[in-house]
Structure 1
């Protein structure tokens, strides 16, 4: 479902001038995780834009730690 990485969000913060967005991701096993995502394009700053990307994995940061989430295990996502 998710992998915690050693990488933090310091490089990502430098690469995008766009503010991060809060998310709560709900999984098929009834668990959930809270974190933030960084939009890559100004035209795609809505959380729905980020969630509807074609990639199999979603990158989420929780307390600056990078999480890689498999979209196949996600039931739904809430934006806060």
Structure 2
């Protein structure tokens, strides 16, 4: 498998034919934190990286970290009434 792998230059580059031939091994490497670029005729086409499974926002993740007071609008009562003409 021909690879351009210059240290410090970013992810390794694999030509599309070699990527098809060695896809299983390349995917395994990507899941271990070693992304790679697939190139066609020497031109980079796609970058393959492992999926981060923490992509969904976690609702309630700050529960218990701080408390919102029941009278949160009290300090701004006059300003709110002025904005809405109450």
Query: Which structure shows the higher helix fraction?
Result: 2
Name the structure with the higher strand share. 1
Q: Do they fold alike, i.e. is TM over 0.5? A: no
TM-score (norm 1): 0.28
TM-score by length of 2: 0.27
